Amino acid sequence: MRVLVTGASGMLGRATAARLIDRGDDVTVLQRRPAGLPCAEVLADVADPAAVARAARGQDAVVHLAAKVDVTGRWAEYARANVEGTASVVAGCRAGDVGRLVHVSSPSVAHAGSALAGAGADPADPARARGHYARSKAEAERLALAADSPGLAVLAIRPHLVWGPGDTQLVERIVARARAGRLPVLGSGAALIDTTYVDNAAAALVAAVDACGPVHGEPLVVSNGQPRPVGEVLARLCAAAGVPGPRGRVPVAAAWVAGAAVEGVWALLRRRATPPMTRFLAEQLSTAHWFDQRRTRAALGWAPQVGLDEGFARLAAWYATA
């Protein structure tokens, strides 16, 4: 199968492209900086319709991961990368007669801030999504699923809190805060959260490429299906990296107020560095969010192969040699 993967310089995109290559697919990757993979590569901005159209021509499937993933930045930056980028991918698929599009989304597109316990894949809702990232991804997912048609089967896959060796989005930031002594537990630390080890997320995306067609036009949440207290997850990530675990406790209300204040300062000063707290981060570290995986596993014919214990052991081994 000929497959185009956008965003292969990121941890999950790279793992997905590598898995497709390993099984013998003819893979092309598209992103702004080299991914270093043994396949055809296009260096381009995903929001460039002409470049995406050229890369999509002749492909059987597209896996779209390229996105701006951050907690800071202007709305225009998120809109260009996530909304306009997805529009470029959809247009490229249509122009190139691509039959399958796996759009990589996020559970945050349907999260309005309240606890999610055993939740399914509710519809994306830009009006209620929290923050620029979630809102832009909600708009992007709706755009992608609206393109589902007899000529283009579309699946939206929402991997939840993906982590693993080399992760710069979640693990690296947690470890950096812990190393600096700035990683507290919010509230009791007992809220249950789902996470996804990177190899499981990549395998789910490859399964989605194969399932897309018979299964299409819907979102599916992907996770390890092993909810754990957020305090435990933070402590085990820190232990794997060999840094001190969370120190102290901060009331949730205080963290939320602090996050709102920090967001205001960051916006006023147009700071690019990652802020110490945001309202979204306060919610994520204090609110339950775990998901019913039955529909996902049945639809994709997939199940996680790397449990959390093994994932933490692999992460520790990576840090030991990094």
Q: Check if 133 is active-site.
A: yes
- Cα–Cα distances (Å) from 201 to 181, 301, 321, in that order, read 30, 13, 24
CB-based contacts of 138, cutoff 8 Å, min separation 6: 108, 109, 110, 124, 125, 126, 129
* Nearest to 29, CA basis, from 58, 1, 66, 60: 66
Contacts of residues 274-278 at CB distance under 8 Å and 24 or more positions apart, as own/partner, are 274/70, 274/71, 274/72, 274/173, 275/71, 275/72, 276/177, 276/182, 278/71, 278/131
* Nearest to 77, CA basis, from 267, 282, 281, 283: 267
What is the chain's alpha carbon radius of gyration, rounded to the nearest angstrom?
19
Catalytic-role residue among 78, 133, 197, 319:
133
Distance CA 155, CA 222 (A): 12
Query: What tokens were used for 187?
Result: 């509230």
Q: Could you say which DSSP state residue 102 is in?
A: E
CB distance 44 to 51 below 8 Å: yes
Query: What tokens were used for 180?
Result: 């600096």
Q: Which helix (H) or strand (E) holds 40?
A: strand 40-43
3-state class (DSSP) for residue 10: coil
Active site residues: 133
